Amino acid sequence: MKGFLFLVGPLPFMALAIATAGLAAGCAMFVHGAVFSPWLTAVATAWRYPLAGIALAASYYIYGLSLLLIAPLVNFLLGGRLKPYRGSTVSLTALRWYVHCTMTLLVRYTFLEFVTPSPFALAYYRLMGMKIGRNVTINSTAIADPSLIELGDGATIGGSASVLAHYAQGGYLVVAPVRIGAGATIGLRAIVMGGAEVGAGAKVLAGSLVLPKSRIAAGETWAGIPAKPVDLRRDRGKPMDAAEEG
């Protein structure tokens, strides 16, 4: 029975992703048929194919921008706004997390890279439930569980950094909020996991791993795998081994 559930379990969420992507594609097809196609028939043959290619590319962007609106709407209608949770990965409560993940991953892997960083990406994350302050920069699409992530004013998420409001522990799924304070910086390819809090003005250096439930105080700098507090002024000029030991 477990094997059967493992096999068929993803199918409803695959169907949900297909339906959501299909609605967005339908918007693109409507614009292409109503606007681009009639115009292309009147163009000389020599120009028709290159212009048709541009029209198809424009239709893809119409698909993507439509998806930025449709996916959060589907997420909202199906109860995908998350609450903290610890329990089995197979439960009615966990279904909300699967819906939220489906809508997040669908957008991430089909379009979000093309509008990151930009106000379009920020608008999408807000519609998915993320709390975002003013002058925030998100230069990464590796954001999971946005409805449980809070970014203070002026926070920066560096390129390819990952912020995940979930993790697995003892065979259970744990979904826990992540809070990143005002002016904090998450460096290039750093990872911040569920339940972590990064204080105002704090820094997580590039490539570091912030473990679940970590508490980074305001103004601190953390680095390493797993990340730990470092004093850059004290360590400046030391050999690498000495800096790590100290």
Q: Do 111 and 20 meet the contact criterion of CB atoms below 8 Å apart?
A: no
Q: Which two tokens stand for residue 41?
A: 């028939």
What is the pLDDT averaged over residues 129-155?
A: 96
Task: Quick: pLDDT tens for 14-52.
Answer: 999 999 999 999 999 999 888 888 877 777 677 778 888
Q: DSSP alpha helices (H): ranges in 42-195?
A: 45-77, 92-110, 119-127
Helix (H, G, I), strand (E, B) or coil at 240: helix
What is the pLDDT averaged over residues 214-241?
A: 81
pLDDT of residue 37: 81
Q: What is the pTM of this model?
A: 0.86
Distance CA 188, CA 199 (A): 18
Q: The CATH number of the domain where 193 resides is what?
A: 2.160.10.10
Per the structure, the complete domain to which residue 160 belongs is given by 2-245
Q: Which two tokens stand for residue 42?
A: 């009147």
Query: Any idea what the Cα angle at residue 107 is, between residues 194 and 125, rounded to 5°?
Result: 55
Helix (H, G, I), strand (E, B) or coil at 166: strand
Task: Quick: pLDDT tens for 98-113.
Answer: 999 999 999 999 999 9
Number of domains in the chain: 1
